[in-house]
């Protein structure tokens, strides 16, 4: 126990306090403000891998490391789509996942936001459209924001989530 406490004390808080001129700090402030305005302090995300190569998932995990500390911004990944405000989908939609994705989408209560995360969800990526892949996510469900990148960096993902909260199209739909 003592060693654990010593480790915690010696590492301290590593969550990045970006300098005032930094884009990341502005991003965090804007994200907080948008969550406050739209959702009363917390945003919940349900992630669905609809055919990804699993690189996008690595970056989604990184969002919760102590340097990005997404949970510290009141953004949380939840287990049930019924608890979610936002559906974040990775991968070109494989035909074998299409039904499970549609059911998850239907289970998210309205008004709901959808982020297509990664090149494959945006355009079909390197896998494209085929007998096994539907291609871009927007073919299957309505998408609010596309976040390209292979995989998108944690910062790009944070920006994408912010964009979903602030785009007029999503406001109109809700």
Partner 1 sequence: MPLAQWLKRAQSLPGTPGACVLRADASEYLQLARDAAASGARLLSLWAADESAYAAYLTDGGVLVAQLQNLRAPTGGAPLPGLAELFPVAARLERALFDLSGLRSSDPDERPWLWHGAWRRDWSPLGDAPEPEAAHGSPATGGAQYPFVRVEGEGVHEIAVGPVHAGIIEPGHFRFSVVGEKVLRLEEHLGYVHKGIERRFGQLALLEGHRLAARVSGDSAVAFSWAYAQALEGMSGVAVPARALSLRALMLELERIANHLGDLGALGNDAGFAFGLSQFLRLKEHVLRATEAAFGQRYLLDALVPGGIARDLTLAGEEALALEMRRLTHELPRLRIIYDEHAGLRDRFEGAGVLSPQLARRLGVLGLAARASGQALDLRADLPWPPYDELAPRKCVRAEGDVASRVALRFDELAESCRLVSALLERLPSGAHRAELAAPAAGALGIGLIEGWRGPALIALHAGQEGRIARCHPHDPSWQNWPALEHAIIGNIVPDFPLINKSFNLSYSGVDL
Count Cβ atoms within 10 A of the Cβ of residue 104 and give its class: 0-12 exposed, 13-18 middle, 19 or more buried.
Answer: buried
- x/- binding map, residues 70-109, to partner 1, per CB under 8 A? -------x-xxx---------xx-xxxxxxx-x-x-----
Distance CA 80, CA 68 (A): 23
Q: Is the dihedral of CA 138, 158, 78, 170 positive or negative?
A: negative
Write down the least CB distance from residue 52 to partner 1, Å.
Answer: 7
Which residue do the tokens 């079909």 mark?
124
Name the nearest CA neighbour of 97 among 51, 40, 137.
51
Indicate whether 151 belongs to the interface with partner 1 (CB under 8 A): yes
Indicate whether 132 belongs to the interface with partner 1 (CB under 8 A): yes
User: According to CB under 8 A, which one of 22, 29, 66, 111 is a site residue for partner 1?
Assistant: 66
Contact 96, 56 (CB under 8 A): no
Indicate whether 61 belongs to the interface with partner 1 (CB under 8 A): yes
Indicate whether 58 belongs to the interface with partner 1 (CB under 8 A): yes
User: Could you list the residues that contact partner 1 (CB under 8 A)?
Assistant: 3-4, 7-8, 11, 14, 47-62, 64-68, 77, 79-81, 91-92, 94-100, 102, 104, 126-134, 139, 150-151, 153
């Amino acid at each position: 126990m003592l060693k654990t406490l010593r480790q915690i004390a010696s590492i301290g808080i590593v969550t990045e306090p970006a300098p005032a001129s930094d884009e990341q700090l502005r991003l965090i402030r804007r994200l907080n403000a948008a969550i406050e305005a739209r959702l009363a302090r917390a945003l919940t995300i349900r992630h669905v891998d609809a055919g990804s190569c699993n690189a996008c998932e690595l970056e989604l995990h990184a969002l919760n490391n102590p340097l990005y500390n997404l949970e510290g911004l009141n953004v949380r990944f939840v287990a049930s789509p019924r608890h979610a405000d936002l559906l974040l989908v990775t991968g070109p939609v494989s035909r074998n996942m299409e039904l499970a994705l549609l059911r998850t989408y239907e289970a998210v209560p309205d008004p709901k936001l959808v982020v297509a995360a990664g090149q494959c969800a945006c355009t079909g990526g390197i896998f494209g459209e085929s007998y096994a892949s539907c291609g871009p996510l927007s073919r299957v469900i309505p998408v609010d924001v596309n976040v390209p990148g292979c995989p998108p960096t944690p910062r790009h993902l944070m920006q994408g989530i912010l964009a979903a909260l602030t785009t007029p199209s999503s406001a109109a739909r809700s």
